[in-house]
Amino acid sequence: MKIITVLAALSLCACADDSTNKKMETADKAPEQPTQPVKKTDAEWRKELTPEQYHVLREAGTERANGPIYKEFKKQGAGTYYCGGCDAELFSSKEKFDSGCGWPSFYDPANAKNVKTSTDYKIGYARTEVLCAVCDGHLGHVFTGEGFDTPTDKRYCINGVALKFVPEGEKPENKAAKEPKNGE
């Protein structure tokens, strides 16, 4: 039997705000990416996220250094890191490096358009907060010019609990069918 692949011609609408010149990517492996901002009520986030995820993503909390997630992170091979809140692609193992700081570190976001920054003064001096641009979830902070031998000399210091790792070649689990990962 012949399988016919129908390629739907995408009619590009002449949207007024097409200033971003979006690129359509058709990688087979890519998960369903949120295409517009993800906005949820506080109650919805509380229901969807674990208490730790909620604390980091929605309350700009920080997980403790060298926690179990970080140990796992260090062992992870090639793959992609998605937002724990909305599944947007954030970082990849290609930009991962061992900074020794106790939190997952990347020298660049894999998908820059999904990562944004803002300045916070929570601890008395300016730090650059890193957020998911799609759901506004807090991810961590970025530090520059620390002397790391990486192409950018930036350290995206990211809470592991805010990330969802998907090994290369695997599809991320469907959010709707998400089950708590209990007991191993």
Binding site for Zn ion (CB under 5 A): 83, 85-86, 88, 132, 134-135, 137
Q: Is 83 annotated as catalytic?
A: no
The CA-based angle 47-156-132, given to 5 degrees, is 35
Using CA atoms of 149, 138, 74, 181 in order, give the dihedral in degrees to the nearest 10: -170
Task: Kindly state the tokens that stand for 11.
Answer: 């009619």
Nearer residue to Zn ion within complex by CB, 111 or 148: 111
CB of 151 to Zn ion, least distance (A): 25
Rounded least distance, CB 33 to Zn ion, Å: 10
Q: How far is the CB of 136 from Zn ion (least distance, A)?
A: 7
Helix (H/G/I), strand (E/B), else coil: 43: helix
The least distance separating Zn ion from the CB of residue 34, rounded to whole angstroms, comes to 7
Closer to Zn ion at the Cβ: 79 or 85?
A: 85
- The nearer residue to Zn ion, 31 or 85, going by C-beta atoms, is 85
C-alpha distances out from residue 98 to 74, 95, 149, 150, Å = 8, 10, 11, 10
Amino acid identity, position 51? P
Cα 138 to Cα 156: distance, rounded to the nearest angstrom: 12
Give whichever of 5 and 41 is closer to Zn ion, judged by the CB atom.
41
Q: For the chain, what is the total number of helices (H) and then of strands (E)?
A: 3, 8
Going from the C-alpha of 13 to that of each of 1, 9, 18, 34, 63, the distances in angstroms are 36, 12, 9, 19, 43
Catalytically active residues, by annotation = 157
